[in-house]
Amino acid sequence: MAIRHATAKWDGTLKDGNGVMKFGDYEGPFTFVSRFEEGKGTNPEELVGAAHAGCYSMFLSALLSDDKLNPTSIETTATVHLGTVDGAPEITQIDLECKAKVAGLDEDTFLEYTEKAKKNCPISKLFTGTEINLSAMLVD
């Protein structure tokens, strides 16, 4: 299996410092403001959301493809909630919203696939104990 690498460098204090995250072809800044408030740059939660959305979409495609169904498109949005638990920041909830175009598939069967993908995609498995909500629909 593949092994992937990412790096992050932080300079300075928590509130006044800044950092850079690097992985693949991406390199981007992050700061206290971009993470805990609203500001320019990214943050670990957005990257977790992107990873989860990508993993979920690919896993759902694999499940469908394994059963000889041919998805035309699968688009997933992940909303990651950063809250506080026992006084410390924690990812408390992830909401996945999936829209897929799959010919020859009824809504009930599609929803069975989507739940299986939610439960079994590798990134979902990282968040055991975190509430993961799923909204999924077939589109034309």
Contact 96, 54 (CB under 8 A): no
CA 15 to chain centre: 26
In tens digits, the chain (140 residues) has pLDDT values of: 889 999 999 999 999 999 999 999 999 999 999 999 888 999 999 999 999 999 999 999 999 999 999 999 999 999 999 999 999 999 999 999 999 999 999 999 999 999 999 999 999 999 988 999 999 999 98
DSSP state for residue 12 in the 8-state scheme:
S
- Predicted pLDDT of residue 129: 87
Phi and psi at 24, nearest 5°, equal 50, -130
- Predicted pLDDT of residue 1: 80
For the entire predicted model, the pTM comes to 0.92
- Predicted pLDDT of residue 58: 98
Are residues 69 and 16 located together in one domain of the fold? no
Residue with tokens 């992985």: 23
48 occurs within a structural domain: no
115 occurs within a structural domain: yes
Q: Which domain holds residue 18?
A: 6-36
Are residues 26 and 62 located together in one domain of the fold? no
62 occurs within a structural domain: yes
Both tokens of residue 61? 């495609």
